[in-house]
Chains A and B, each alone.
Chain A
Amino acid sequence: MKTLKLVKAEFIKIFARKSTWVIVILAALLVAFSFASNKIFSSVEDYDYYSDMAKWEIESLDNILSDYKDKTDNKSMLLVKMIEYKKSLLNEIKDMDIIHNEWKNELNSEYQTVKSNLLFLSLLKEGYNLSDIRKANELMYDSYVIEEEVAINYETKTEKELETYEKELKTKANELHEMLIGNKTYKDYLLREINGHKSEIASNSKLIQENKQEIIKINNKQQREALENSNKDLELSNERLNYIIYWKQYMVDKKINEENWKHSVIMNIIDYYSYSFKNDNTYTEEEYYKSDEYAEYRNKKLNVDYEDYLKIKDEEKQKVQNSFIKNVYAVENNININNGSKTILKNSSLVYQVIGVVSIIIAGTIVAKEFSTGSIRMLLIRPVKRWKILLAKLITTLIFMVILTIILFIVSFITTGICYGFSDFMTNDLNVINGKIAEVSFFIQMLKIYSISLIPVLFFVIFAFAVSTVLRSSAAAIALPLAGMLGGQIVQMLFYMNPKVWLSYTPIPYISLSPLLEGGSYADMISSMNIMYNMNISVLNGSLIYVILTVIILFITFVVFNKIDIKNQ
């Protein structure tokens, strides 16, 4: 009963101070600003990088040109020719609208290559030799990327074949130019890609047929096996290409452009799908012990046997599989997991740090200030046991932290909603459990994320409270936990770069828990790291360490406060 009255009194004291209001308001503003900042600054960014680069390159080429323009020797004339050609190409870029357009940028580099090849071909035809061309290119600071293919074609092909080759290049260049300067859209780009994939599939199929006919004829077992293997690869490649075509066609049909969140999710799906194929090259036991991977483990003095290796591979595959499932589910069910309001809110760790800093300031002053002003004497002569007074202060600190969390969550929620839309919050969040998708209400998911992320913060707040009580100095009580919470994150990062087993029993791997949660920066490496280093890092173990430390710290704090002599300050 008296403890409750003391809690009430503590709140009156905290909120009577203007400084409390100031830091809470500042914290709210900081959080709001951090969520709004992307929106605010993205509209300012309108810098035409490519045309600026082109302008700059033309200038530097002009400088070289002025030195060689009037010379009449062969080599100088070659250089002048190459420079003029490059300049005309660069001038074309300036007129193309390739800012913020990844696909146009990709096409542009393809266009540049084709045009360079055309130039080399014509230069070779004119009788310049390759080494002179190379030297001229060096003088131009390697403006061109010279493809050996052109020179080889020039030397090996007949005149007629060469003509067709040149024609092909020209058609391709024209087509690319058309795509770049016309009012073509992303859809056109996708259709072009699909066509490319389709022709690749066709040529693969042709090759497969040829191989099959070959296989029947060949008697040599080894050769036959090699062909069969190559056919297997080709078939897999076709399967992959068909899958990619499916998604690209999906984007065309659903009119998904580059700005749509689904675009990047689909790109991820394609990556994950390709990765699962690439990753199918698991070593056999014999191969593994001879591999570089094993040598590297031995180098680091890690004992990773074949069984562990298989486990690591399995974990990796599982992770890719989970992400794959999740991304497909998201696109099909229209749940934005990429850059919607939800994701922005989920991935901000600044909120936890702000909650930490403000709560540490409160926890660090709540006891120490009574000592520094001398009011502790007035408080401790009441008919209440000392531990009850301390408990009331601890409860007050924790309630304050909860209130602050709610305030800052509401601020982040509203700011994010205003900047990126509220509708995204209504859709559910996705969890993958044992390879199956589970939909979770966004708010329940947030509650879970906040609770876990705030465990270390809570520990540092209690630590501040303990220092505030035992050392009776606000400065130390604020500085030490802040250093631990903020500086500790650097130590945590160093740990994940170079893990030490004994450190896994300390709070160091858990200074901040949000990077260990799904999607966090350390989340993906934990399971394989645990196997490699024979550790047991998990959110649960981290929480356990904090619980044990908190119990010890609070025990010491209460014992000390109960026995302490209240001397003159």
Chain B
Amino acid sequence: MIKIAKVLDIKNVTKKFGKKTVVDNLTFSVNEGEILGFLGPNGAGKTTLIKMAMGLLKITSGKITVCGFDIEKDYEEAAQNFGGIIENPEMYSELKGITNIQIFSELYNDVDKQRIEEVVKLVGLKDRITDPIKKYSLGMRQRIGLAQAIIHKPKLLILDEPTNGLDPAGIKELRDMLRKLANQGTAILVSSHLLSEMELMCDKVCIIDKGKMIDIRDLKEVRKEGKTTDSGQTFEYSYDTNDNEKVFKILKEKNKNVFMENNEVHVQTTKSEIAILNRELINNNIDIYTITQKSKTLEDLFMETTTSLGKGE
């Protein structure tokens, strides 16, 4: 077994603003070469945690380390090892893109001119880098934000809503770039509200709500679910047939969990059960055009976990 190093390690971290607890005893870590998606509804405490991890907010209790350096005690060493974007990448809009990058890069050890050129090329801003930032579009601002985040080759990259303002092609580029960085060993923490994007981008997701950890899951497993033989789990299937009314009736008689939607019959049942139902429908002279098993998306997972918690209260 290869020992996977924890680049970002968050242990029992709590943040209170006055009496209000915004982050409540969170513990998780991001490993080398891993892309972790950080999910949660608005106000869940995502940005608060990210800000603590980058030293912008003081930690009420608990401990955060980056490459083993305590974020509060050894801030300079820790900061040398991370880069990122928090909320919108607000830079100095009167200054040229290149000047912004230079100002920040001077504060790190070992960033030379060549590296700056390389990064500018990497984020695709080579032609516009001498324009002042105020002339940039939102997408270009995201790109220059990314450039300042990776200029010093950090071991940990923290991105807050990085897809904001990017066009579909830009999003794809970003996804490829992050994958490449991860393959080189960078640990990446991404927060976003675009669940479909996260699904494509991340290896793991961590879902929080009201400051509390709800679920942490390997996405490969989520994707796999439902593709194996019957595990006794319930899925949703939809039928498109020549006589949907009749299908509904038959299934209703069987006392199944059935409903009509978009002129299609939906039923919730297990895998082995659906095979039996299919046979029965064919025996009833019904022509089945399609049967679709709805695969579980990240959105389902997200809704499931956050709403069930809501009901519990």
Q: Report A's interface with B, CB cutoff 8 A.
A: 2, 5-6, 9, 12-13, 16-18, 373-375, 377-378, 380-385, 563, 565-568
Contact = CB atoms under 8 A, between A and B. Distances in A.
A37 to B, nearest CB: 35
A45 B298 CA distance: 86
B56 A381 contact: yes
Given A13-B94, A375-B90, 5 more contacts: A6-B107, A12-B95, A381-B79, A382-B79, A382-B104
Contacts of A9: 103, 106
A17 B75 CA distance: 31
A380 B91 contact: no
Contact of B86 (A12, A13, A16, A377): A377
Contacts of A374: 87-88, 90
B106 A381 contact: no
Interface string B88-109: 1111111100010001101110
A381 B92 contact: no
B62 to A, nearest CB: 16
A382 B75 CA distance: 9
Question: Which one of A6, A381, A567 has the highest number of Cβ atoms from chain B below 10 Å of its Cβ?
Answer: A381
Contacts, number: 76
B58 A563 contact: yes
A373 B91 CA distance: 8
B89 A378 contact: yes
Interface residues of B, number: 34
Contact of B80 (A373, A383, A568): A383
B79 A567 contact: no
B58 A565 contact: yes
Nearest to B95: A16
23 contacts: A2-B107, A373-B92, A374-B90, A375-B91, A377-B51, A377-B86, A377-B87, A378-B89, A378-B90, A378-B104, A381-B54, A382-B79, A383-B76, A383-B80, A384-B76, A384-B79, A385-B75, A385-B76, A563-B58, A565-B56, A565-B57, A565-B58, A568-B47
A368 to B, nearest CB: 14
B208 to A, nearest CB: 18
B77 A383 contact: yes
B227 to A, nearest CB: 42
B162 to A, nearest CB: 15
A566 B107 contact: no
B84 interface: yes
Interface in B223-242: none
Question: Which one of B17, B57, B90, B148 has the highest number of Cβ atoms from chain A below 10 Å of its Cβ?
Answer: B90
A377 B56 contact: yes
Interface of B: 17, 47, 51, 54-58, 75-80, 82-84, 86-95, 99, 103-104, 106-108, 148
Given A381-B56, A382-B107, A568 B92 contact: no
Contacts of A2: 107
A563 B55 CA distance: 11
B55 A5 contact: no
B146 to A, nearest CB: 12
Contacts of B103: 9, 12
B79 A383 contact: yes
A380 B56 contact: yes
Contacts of B82: 381
Contact of A381 (B84, B88, B93): B84
A373 B75 contact: no
A-B interface, 9 closest residue pairs, ranked by CB to CB distance from nearest:
A374-B90, A383-B79, A566-B56, A16-B94, A382-B107, A383-B80, A9-B103, A383-B76, A5-B106
A13 B58 CA distance: 28
Question: Which one of A6, A383, A385, A565 has the highest number of Cβ atoms from chain B below 10 Å of its Cβ?
Answer: A383
A9 B91 CA distance: 13
A381 B4 CA distance: 26
A67 B103 CA distance: 89
A18 B88 CA distance: 24
Contacts of A16: 92, 94-95, 99
Nearest to B84: A381
A13 B84 CA distance: 22
Nearest to B77: A383
A383 B108 contact: yes
Contact of A12 (B76, B84, B99, B104): B99
Contacts of B84: 381
B140 to A, nearest CB: 16
A566 B52 CA distance: 10
Given A12-B103, A568-B87, A373 B93 contact: yes
A12 B95 CA distance: 8
Question: Which one of B84, B95, B103 has the highest number of Cβ atoms from chain A below 10 Å of its Cβ?
Answer: B103
A377 B108 contact: no
A378 B106 contact: no
A18 B148 CA distance: 25
Contact of B107 (A375, A383, A563, A567): A383
Contacts of B76: 383-385
Contact of B148 (A12, A378, A383, A384): A378
Contacts of A375: 90-92
Given A374-B87, A565-B58, A566-B57, A13 B75 contact: no
Contacts of A568: 47, 87
A496 to B, nearest CB: 45
